[in-house]
Amino acid sequence: MSFKQWIKVIVLGGSLLTLAACSSMHKKNQADINDANAAYGSEAQASGVGEGANFGDQGPTGDQQLSKRVYYFNFDSSMLRDEDKPALAANANYLVAHSNVKILLEGHTDPRGSREYNIGLGERRAKAVATFLQSKGVNASQIRVLSYGAEKLAAPGHTESDYQLDRRVVVVYLK
């Protein structure tokens, strides 16, 4: 083989290896997300996005403040909005009164930014909610945090109103 043919073989082989590695990394990342979801098994209830769903005998019922389970954030921010604090406080009071109830805080972002940055931002948002709940007396053992970043978008579009729906933390009551 000539030198040029060796170069072509090396470049082609390297390209194929890179593609294979990227494919397996995507599967690994998806597997990590699936493993995180499976860790909660069948305990997780529907999040009730946009509705006042009853979460069986474990979740709060009735009060409109307690039925609010989705909290939105400004662009590139993990600061809680003042208008969300009363509903979060009502959920905190419920959790303090029912120490056997556990929740999952799912952090989400809009699709702008790198995957790593969005996972981190989603986690910071979920932790901001967790910190607020703990400041109201909720035991840390009742709270689990999971960041999806931009993996589970609420709105498929690319407008600012779609992005606003994506920037959220969802409170999921567990059995």
Same domain (yes/no): 60, 131: yes
DSSP one-letter code for 147 = E
Task: Please state, rounded to an integer, the average pLDDT across all residues of the chain.
Answer: 79
Same domain (yes/no): 16, 84: no
Domain that holds residue 168: 42-174
Beta-carbon neighbour count of residue 170 at 10 Å? 21
Same domain (yes/no): 116, 157: yes
Question: Which CATH number is 93's domain given?
Answer: 3.30.1330.60
Structural contact between residues 111 and 150, judged by C-beta atoms closer than 8 angstroms: yes
Same domain (yes/no): 64, 16: no
**Chain center to CA of 57:** 24
Same domain (yes/no): 141, 159: yes
Same domain (yes/no): 153, 134: yes
Model's pTM, two decimal places?
0.66
Start-to-end Cα distance in the chain: 66
pLDDT digits (tens, 9 = 90+) for 89-125: 999 999 999 999 999 999 999 999 999 999 999 999 9
Kindly state the tokens that stand for 78.
């993990």
The stretch 1-23 carries a mean pLDDT of: 65
Q: Sign of dihedral through CA atoms 30, 36, 38, 44? A: negative
For residue 46, pLDDT over 50 is answered with no
Same domain (yes/no): 123, 143: yes
Same domain (yes/no): 54, 99: yes
Same domain (yes/no): 87, 122: yes
pLDDT of residue 153: 93
Place of tokens 């567990």: 174
Same domain (yes/no): 22, 89: no
Same domain (yes/no): 7, 61: no
The stretch 11-39 carries a mean pLDDT of: 52
Sort strands 143-149 and 102-108 into parallel, antiparallel or unpaired. Answer: parallel
The one-letter amino acid code at 47 reads S
Structural contact between residues 171 and 129, judged by C-beta atoms closer than 8 angstroms: yes
How many domains does the chain contain in total?
2
Tell me if residue 44 falls in helix, strand or coil.
strand
DSSP string, 123-166: HHHHHHHHHHHHHTT--GGGEEEEEEETSS-S--S-SHHHHHHH
Same domain (yes/no): 66, 125: yes
H/E segment holding residue 118: helix 115-135
When pLDDT is cut at 50, 70 and 90, the band that residue 54 belongs to is very low
